[in-house]
Amino acid sequence: MSDLTNKDAEQDTKIAVMDSTLDNSIRRIEMVHKRVDDTNEEMEKLRDRIRTLERWVAGAGAVIAAATFIIGIVASVESKELFEEEDRAFGVFPHKIMQYEFDKKFFGPDEVIDKALMEWNQWEQ
């Protein structure tokens, strides 16, 4: 009977060790699950922050685009007024631009520059 008692005691010890190991493993698994949950929550917070920043960047881009558009329109209107004033003052300003482009295609750069300087001198007088 002593062998049976020893065997029971040995088995009880092994069962206690296995129970303890199982409990430790379950606690570790719960800790890992908690860490994963905390990490998921942190990731969601970071995603929300990124979404907010994306909205700010999109808004800033829209403001910059609108400002660029308005500045372009204003510059276009001013340049149109300038060309209209030049056209009224000289009457041939657009024609001179077309003539310059034509001369640039068919004559050398030196000839075009010389002609432009000659016209400038005539205009100054």
> What 8-state DSSP symbol labels residue 107?
S
Residue-wise pLDDT tens for the chain (125 aa)?
577 788 888 888 988 889 889 999 999 999 999 999 999 999 999 999 999 999 999 999 999 999 999 988 887 776 666 555 555 555 556 667 777 777 777 777 777 777 777 877 887 77
- With tokens 């890992």, the residue in question is 32
SS3 state of residue 33:
helix
* pTM, rounded to two decimals: 0.44
CB 100 within 8 A of CB 120: no
